[in-house]
Each structure stands twice: as structure tokens, then as C-alpha cells.
A and B are shown apart, each in its own frame.
Chain A
Amino acid sequence: MKVKYENVSFNYNPTAALSNVSCEFDSGKTVVVAGHNGSGKSTFLKLMNGILKPTEGRVTLGEIGTEGKRTSELARLCALSFQNPDDQLFAQTVKKELRFGIDNIGGGDGLYDSIVDTFHLSEHLYSNPYALVYAMRRLVVIGATATMGTPILALDEPTAGLSIREKGYLGNLISFLKAKGTTVVIVTHDLNFLLPYSDEMLLLSHGEVQFSGGRDEFFTRKDARDVMRRSGIGYPMYARISSALDLGKTAFDAEEIVEGVGKKRAGTTRRTNGQHQLEGA
């Protein structure tokens, strides 16, 4: 489902958190939202399912504006997983937590089973969520929002506190949702991990949009580094390596780096061979 923000501003009295934000993301896209601490990222997400309502402007999910709608209605379109998992957990067991949304809103058992598998939660289903380690609590919360099968899923800092193993599970979930056509909006500082999965980017700084558009488009811009610096974000690791190695095209994961280095080497060898022939002639 499409997500559209039109000239959206939001104030926590009296502090302005977002000013005049406009952006639009097509159905089925995976979007990363990045920016410095306090740039308005979490506020941006909370406006999406009506936990917050714009002070000015309009947020539209598909054709439906969030104005005048309650969160209970909007949550059927957009499920949100909070920055702090402990704010969201309440059920006695992991299974009840994961099924709460399905029983209230829908989703279905197929989705529940896939998410239990993807997150390797089967042996914890009858544990109290608070008895699990932090990383697993986060996965339970993300799982509980994903099981509802809403057309939009919003995740706030989903990789914080996850070790490499659980990050892998999360990556698998994003790929799975993408294949299902879910629009996934992810607030994150972990661009190194999430850029490979993303189609679109939204960069925020002091509540204002610095960039909104396609990931690949962004990295062809000459001022990409400056824009990121203004947003308080370091230039991502693989993009940095790509430019240091002069790969020509920005890579987003290790495999693309290897591929790029391979192509570059092949290119260099051909050129060298050509030179030899010229010299020989």
C-alpha cells in the first residue's frame, strides 16, 4: 500500500519535531528512514498509524487519510513495532503475543507459521516474553506486528540489540515481506545492514527532509556524502569501500563488492592486453 506525506508538520509542544515533510512511497517498496538522534524519525513513524496526528498537513495510506481515524482502525493498514520492545510486550506467552494481532485483526495461520520459522521462535512459544533475552524480545515484538499481515509494516530501530544471528533472521523476514508485496518502512542507524534490502530512502535532519527517493538514485548524486553528513549519518561502509576501490557503481553488501572488484580486474586485464597488442604492432 502506498504511503504519502503532504507538507506534514508535527510539534510536541513547544518543540517542533517535523516541519513540512513531503514524501511518497509506492506500494511494496522497502524504505529506510535515517537521520541523527532527535531528527524526527520515530515521530515520522508514529504519524503513520495515527498514534500521532499531524499538526499540519496530511498523511495518506493508500487512498485513506489518517485524519479523523483512530489508531485501532489505522493499525489494520499499518502495524508499528516500537523502538523499545519492552513498551509493547504484554501477553503471558510468546505464542499469545504473536497471536494477539491475528485474533483481533487477522493475518492467518500461514503467516504465523512462517514468522515463527523465520525468527526461530518455536522453542520459546510457551515462555514469558520477559524471560527472553533482549534480542529475542525484539524479535517477538517485530513478529507480533508482522503476523497481522498489514499492507504496511513500520519498524523502529529493528536491529538495535540484535547480534549477527538475529539480524540474519530479520533480513529473511524483510525479504519474505517484500515478496508478499508489503510496504516496509524501517527507521534505522544500521544502514550497512539494511541498505541491501531497501528500494527507497528518506533522510531527515532537524525535522526536515534532506532526501526522499530511490536508493540507487541517491548514491549516484555527487553530493551524497554531504547530504548524509548533514543528516548526521556516516557514509555507509560498502559505499565507502566502493568509492575507495573505484568500482564505478556503489555496492551495498560484501558480495557486490567482490563482484565489482572482479569486474574491475577483468576490465584492467583487458586494457593491459590491448596495450600489449598495440606495443607489439
Chain B
Amino acid sequence: MKIVSLAGFSVSYTKDSPPALDRIDLDLNSRESVVVSGLSGSGKSTLCLAVAGLTDTFPAMTVSGEINRGESADGKPLRVGIVLQNFYSQITYLRSTVMEEIAFPCENLGMPREETARRVSDALNRIRICHLAERSPLELSGGEKQKVVLAAAIAGKPDLLILDEPLSQLDPESTAYLGNVLSELKKEMALLIAENDPYLTLKVADRLVVLSEGKIIADGSPETAISPSTATCLDLPAWTKCVSKADEESIAGENQATRRYELNYRKALTLLRGSV
């Protein structure tokens, strides 16, 4: 089911600046995870803001074309959650503990206490930050704050969750773990993720959209969207160019410690050998 649909959608931040999004046609469907990649300045964050309906917050911005949002399964307006690239600005600091901070969106949705408590503890567990529950958001590290904002977004159970580089400040172990969490989440909600990390893309994306100078230059399964014409816009590992078939097998056969990476190596290699 289509939940957001953009047609000929353009955005410029000021009257004179080149368009940040240039005549975009894009449909997002329920329970679909779409990863948007591209060099910085290609329009990833602007697309996230536009889909979330936040373009009105920029007074000088000019918007043209159409954007239509569908309904939630219960007939209410589509619920959208977002984790901004600058997630620091999303923490209210009005609450004295992480637990209360995560409850904030639920409270604003007018949810009953028990339901709020259940969702908060579910989100804490899912993001594996139970140990932070009683801490003050003020004293957390950057990566911990990013996890808290992600947990709060999940607790709201949106129909569409928009994540702008959601793992940028996380350590490699958390990145791998939260990659799995996102793969699970796409069974419950639609995801739109701005991300350049090819591992995360291959793990989570049903669909990869590649942006260049505000235009969509590829839109399809990762297998079809990664091609010689899009490779220059993607953060592909340089080694994929030079590891031969035999070497790939020896990588794949390595022991348990590398199992986490195994699928990604193989998938990336298979995808990229022909294209880069």
C-alpha cells in the first residue's frame, strides 16, 4: 500500500539557490525499507525533511510539485517518526531521566500510562540501553544520545520511520546490532533511511534510491541500483575492486568471528565485482 507519494517534487532552500530536490517522483509503500544514498549535498536530508512534512519550517524555502500522504491502518493520519541528522537537537532536556525522555512522544500522543511504560521498556530493550534508563540525558555521550533518540522514535510506533544517518555516532558493535534491529523493524513499519554505509544498505534495504544533485539517478533493488553509473556516488569499499573470486571464498570460509561480516562481504562482492 502506498503511504507517501511525491510527484515532480522540487525544493529550493532560497530563491536563488539550485534546487536541493529536483522534480522527484517517488512512492513509499507500507512495510518497505528504502535506503537513500548519495554524496553529501545530493538531497538526502532534504528528502527526509520533505517526506516528514517539515519543509514548511524553512521560511525562505520554495516547494513545488505534489506530495501526498496516505492514512494509518486505523484510518487516522499517517504517523511519521524521524531521527534527524543532528539528533542532539531532538532531546528535550526537560526530563531528568532517559526513561522519561523516551516516554515523551508517547505522552504527547495521549497514550495511557501502562501502554507508555510498556513501550518505553520495549524500546529500551530493543536498542539495548536498559543500563541508561535512570541516567540523565545531559550526561550521555554522543552515541548514547543517538540511541536514546532512536528509542524514542520507535516507542511512538510510527507508520513510517525516517532515519537520517541513524548510526553515524555508534561504535561498530552497536552498528552491527542495530542493523539487525532495523531489519526486524521493517516488518512493523515503513523505513526511509538516509545512509551511505554499504553494509547497512545491503542488510536493511528492500530498495535503494541513489540521489545526485537533487535528482534520483537510480531506484530499485540494491542489486539493480548499484551500477557503474551510480558507483561514484556510493561509499563502496575500495577493496571490492581487487579481491578475486578465490580470495572471496577464503574470506567466506573464515571462522565464527567473521560470520557477522560474511554475508556482507559475499553479497557486496557479488554485487560489485561486475560493476566497479
Contact = CB atoms under 8 A, between A and B. Distances in A.
Given A15-B135, A37-B141, A38-B143, A241 B243 contact: yes
A168 to B, nearest CB: 11
Interface string A230-259: 001111011011011110000001100110
A224 to B, nearest CB: 11
A94 to B, nearest CB: 14
Given A161-B40, A164-B196, A240 B258 contact: yes
Interface residues of B, number: 48
Given A131-B13, A166-B40, A232 B172 contact: yes
Contact of B238 (A12, A189, A232, A254): A254
A135 B41 contact: yes
A243 B171 CA distance: 22
B45 A37 contact: no
Interface string B152-195: 00000000000001001111111110000000000000000000
Contacts of B139: 12, 15
Contacts, number: 131
A246 B249 CA distance: 13
A164 B235 contact: yes
A162 interface: yes
Interface string A120-145: 00000000000101111000000000
Interface residues of A, number: 51
A35 interface: yes
Interface of B: 13, 38-41, 45, 85-86, 88-89, 135, 139-144, 147, 165, 168-176, 196, 234-239, 241-244, 247, 250-251, 253-254, 257-258, 260-261
9 contacts: A15-B139, A37-B141, A83-B142, A86-B88, A167-B235, A189-B172, A241-B243, A245-B247, A261-B243
